[in-house]
Structure 1
């Protein structure tokens, strides 16, 4: 399965041999690129349960695939969300359900830096995406 162009860019950027401090700064930079959610979108309905940080997620179908937007109160989490979004945006609902999240973050060189709670939170976001998409 081919990757969306933005995911290819992320993979190229994060697969460079850089230190964790550099990766963390890069993550925060990617997080700053997230489109902001409105106050209405930051509702309890759109909040993802299972995350230690506050995370909100909205999604809509677009030409047979899905487009998601997300926000968080935590800078590193925003970066991780940005990397998740570049991987999933444009996928049909069925592919959301079968996405190997651990493999994606391993390819990016970030898996070993994800605490169990962050990893669980990202899985909760992906699960919520599949629910929104009806997968």
Structure 2
């Protein structure tokens, strides 16, 4: 169960054979993402368990989940962008059904991220799932 935006990233990755190109593509995705308003970079939006600074600002409107986010690390901004493609627009009641590990595995991210980055991604996913569960 993936959004159209995430499927587009999967298609892009199919054309990028070498991991370096995929890594650059993830970074470019992050660069293209609008920065999070500084007023939203507060302790309540900070994600703990990440090696870099990460903020996620979830929004639930009309039963639909979305979030904005930011990080001080380019690759992490890119990972936030990938997670936004995976989760934004999904009904809040279905967030828990998204198998993020399997979906990210389709991109090969599971094998190519450092342990610290993988922990950070897990922390971001947990935050997304927790917020969605509160609103479901």
Q: Which residue of 1 aligns with 2:80?
A: 81
Report deviation, 1:17.
Answer: 4.4
Aligned counterpart, 1:123: 122
**1:45 alignment counterpart:** 44
- 1:56, distance to aligned residue in structure 2 (A): 0.1
Contact 2:16 2:22 in 1 (8 A): no
Gaps of 5+ in 1: none
Shift in Å at residue 130 of structure 1? Answer: 1.9
1:94 to partner: Cα distance? 3.1
- Looking at structure 2, the residues matched to 4 and 62 of structure 1 have their Cα atoms a distance apart, in angstroms, of 17
Q: Which residue of 2 aligns with 1:8?
A: 7
4+ runs of 1 displaced by more than 3 Å? none
The Cα shift of 1:62 comes to 2.4
TM-score if structure 1 supplies the norm length? 0.90
Coordinate RMSD, CA, aligned: 1.5
Tell me: CA distance 1:15–1:69, structure 2 relative to 1, closer, same or farther (3 Å).
same
| Higher percent of residues as helix | 2
Aligned length: 134
TM-score (norm 2): 0.90
Matches within 5 A, 1:1-135: 1=1, 3-133=2-132, 134=134
Partner SS for 2:60: strand
